[in-house]
């Protein structure tokens, strides 16, 4: 009994402070992260299940380009019809000026953001916020879904306080054919920036 109780305690501690699994419920991050049909816009038979690192933000700041699990501000429920825990991509850091141009491309502090994860057909569907600009308040972060035309995000309900960030997604672990690491691309970009010159937008 003591061994079982200890094992349960370890599992609960890991989920609370280190790593926690999450299911992708909507199409806002398609095709990077899938939700399950017949949900609107969902492209997969099964919803992706991901792991988020719950402790890393205790030791470093969030990085632009990371996929992050966070608790939404109250305005999200009013604007989207639901709130709670969302998974989206971090676009704007505290103090940043974020702009969506007339073609749906995102600019941060007057520099065009490199977003290879956005499909052109999905960018073309994103017409609601063309030529809009947002200033990210200090202490807060600006998030968007990769499926821009089907994402209720910071463009609608504003920036997210630092204390609401749970952690970055680092792995899809289900279904088996979609097992992948998500922290690799931002890490490689920062490594290249360090080796080749001053950091750019992904610093």
Which residues are part of the catalytic machinery? 28, 88
118 close to 146: Cβ distance less than 8 angstroms: yes
3-state SS, residue 86: strand
Beta pairing class for 165-174 and 49-53: antiparallel
CA–CA distance, 45 with 37 (Å, rounded to integer): 6
CA–CA distance, 100 with 134 (Å, rounded to integer): 9
Number of Cβ within 10 Å of residue 104's Cβ equals 20
168 close to 88: Cβ distance less than 8 angstroms: no
Handedness of CA 186, 177, 144, 105 (dihedral sign): positive
Helix or strand (DSSP H, E) at 58: none
How many Å separate Cα 35 from the centre of its chain? 15
CA–CA distance, 28 with 76 (Å, rounded to integer): 14
């Amino acid at each position: 009994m003591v061994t079982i109780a200890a094992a349960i305690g370890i599992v609960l501690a890991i989920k609370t402070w280190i790593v926690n699994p999450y299911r992708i419920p909507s199409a806002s991050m398609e095709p990077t992260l899938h939700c399950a049909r017949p949900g609107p816009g969902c492209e997969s038979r099964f919803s992706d299940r991901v792991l988020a690192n719950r402790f890393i933000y205790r030791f470093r700041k969030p990085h632009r380009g990371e996929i992050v699990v966070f608790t939404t501000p109250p305005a999200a429920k009013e604007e989207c019809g639901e709130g709670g825990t969302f998974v989206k991509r971090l676009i704007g850091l505290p103090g940043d000026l974020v702009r969506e141009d007339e073609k749906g491309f995102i600019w941060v502090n007057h520099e065009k953001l490199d977003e290879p994860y956005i499909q052109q057909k999905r960018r073309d569907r994103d017409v609601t916020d063309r030529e809009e600009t947002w200033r990210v308040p200090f202490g807060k972060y600006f998030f968007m879904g990769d499926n821009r035309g089907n994402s209720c995000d910071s463009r609608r309900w504003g920036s997210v306080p630092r204390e609401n960030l749970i952690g970055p997604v680092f792995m899809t672990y289900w279904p088996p054919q979609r097992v992948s690491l998500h922290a690799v691309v931002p890490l490689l970009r920062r490594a290249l920036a360090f080796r080749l010159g001053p950091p750019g937008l992904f610093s």
